[in-house]
């Protein structure tokens, strides 16, 4: 069994997970990472008494059972257990694409943590994060800044805020970045380093641990990406709480497991420590 770091947690896994950073038990203990168990199912997974909320999802107050296409059944149990039943002929890499997003996001909500849908980079002026609707250009913007300036990446797609932290520390952990084909070509990335996204034909994953910062870092500026004829950046302090709440990852699942009032309070507290800006850019960028 291997031990990995992900989203401020230690993951004791029976699966190989190259997207995560492998750590030692001593590192996990020194950093105070709670341990999550990721195991293979030894029998078909079931969730008695569950409510079906979608054709692929059923929940109880303390657990969720998902069917990730033809890849796997995944049982998430509060507070620290994920069990995976691989389906015939499925690839573990395809299963992990869903596990690292929806699967772990559900466990994070169960634990009272705040997963955010954003990409972030460490600049000389602090940590900048970019968020917005799917396809807005979060990953592309962070990759552009990395290749232009050499700045290290904090996270792509998902990071976590922990309400136990005094300040808004971003906890990442997945050492890959998702890019559309045009961005791959623009940045001259070697295609042999890429794997194709299983959900979108023209999107690829670049696995590059050397591009990432392994430690949690304080978020300084959160940009909400919008489209406009010309690039502009505008401060939006009046929308800080709203934008942070809109950045929460998988809110449609969170509602079954979280205290909404506590989420709003924590987002309000963190938003007071973050600069909120609109980053408007043309569709072509």
* Predicted local distance difference test score (pLDDT) of residue 108: 97
Question: Of the given ranges (10-24, 71-85, 190-204, 209-223), which has the lowest mean pLDDT?
Answer: 190-204
Tell me the pLDDT tens digit for each residue of 118-131: 999 999 999 999 99
Are β-strands 176-180 and 203-207 bridged in parallel, bridged antiparallel, or unpaired? Answer: antiparallel
Average pLDDT over residues 70-95: 97
Q: What percent of the chain has pLDDT over 90?
A: 69
Is the per-residue pLDDT at 231 higher than 70?
no
Identify the H or E element spanning 269.
helix 260-271
DSSP string, 103-170: IHHHHHHHTT-EEEE-EEEEETTEEEEEE-STTSSHHHHHHHHHHHH-PPEEESSEEEE-TTSSS-EE
Question: pLDDT category, 82, cuts 50, 70, 90?
Answer: very high
Locate the domains of the chain by residue range.
Answer: 2-111, 116-281
Q: 279 or 125, which is more confident? A: 125
Rg (CA), the chain: 19
Q: Can you spell out the DSSP letters for 50-76?
A: PEEEETTEEEETTEEEEEETTTEEEEE
pLDDT, position 225:
85
Per-residue pLDDT for 103 more than 90? yes
SS3 177: strand
The residues facing 130 across adjacent strands are 119, 223
Is pLDDT of 61 > 90? yes
| 116-281 CATH, one of 2.30.280, 3.30.750, 1.20.58, 3.40.50 | 3.40.50
Instruction: Give the lowest-confidence range in 7-21, 69-83, 124-138, 159-173.
Output: 124-138
Query: Which residue in the block uniquely carries the two structure tokens 């990446």?
Result: 153
Q: Is the pTM of this model over 0.85?
A: yes
Tell me how many degrees the CA angle 139-141-142 measures, rounded to the nearest 5: 65
Whether the pLDDT of residue 111 is over 60: the answer is yes
100 pLDDT above the threshold of 70: yes
């Amino acid at each position: 069994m291997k031990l990995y770091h992900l989203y401020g947690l230690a993951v004791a896994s029976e699966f190989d997970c190259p997207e995560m950073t492998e750590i030692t038990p001593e590192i996990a203990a020194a950093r105070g990472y709670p341990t999550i168990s990721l195991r293979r199912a030894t029998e078909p997974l079931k969730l008695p008494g569950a409510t079906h909320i979608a054709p692929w999802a059923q929940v109880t107050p303390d657990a969720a059972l998902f069917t990730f296409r033809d890849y796997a059944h995944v049982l998430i149990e509060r507070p620290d257990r994920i069990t995976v039943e691989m389906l015939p002929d499925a690839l573990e890499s395809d299963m992990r694409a869903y596990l690292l997003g929806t699967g772990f996001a559900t466990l994070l909500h169960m634990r009272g943590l705040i997963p955010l849908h954003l990409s972030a980079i460490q600049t000389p002026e602090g940590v900048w994060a970019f968020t917005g609707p799917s396809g807005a250009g979060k990953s592309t913007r962070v990759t552009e800044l990395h290749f232009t300036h050499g700045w290290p990446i904090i996270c792509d797609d998902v990071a976590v805020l922990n309400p136990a932290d005094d300040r808004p520390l971003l906890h990442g952990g997945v050492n890959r970045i998702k890019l559309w084909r045009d961005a791959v070509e623009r940045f001259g990335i070697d295609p042999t380093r890429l794997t194709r996204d299983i959900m979108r034909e023209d999107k690829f994953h670049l696995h590059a641990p050397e591009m990432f910062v392994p430690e949690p870092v304080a978020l300084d500026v959160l940009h909400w990406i919008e489209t406009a004829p010309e690039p502009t950046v505008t401060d939006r302090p009046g929308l800080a709480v709203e934008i942070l709440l809109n950045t929460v990852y998988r809110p449609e699942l969170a509602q079954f497991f979280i205290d909404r009032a506590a989420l709003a309070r924590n987002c309000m507290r963190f938003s007071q420590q973050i600069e909120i800006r609109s980053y408007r850019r043309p569709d072509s960028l």
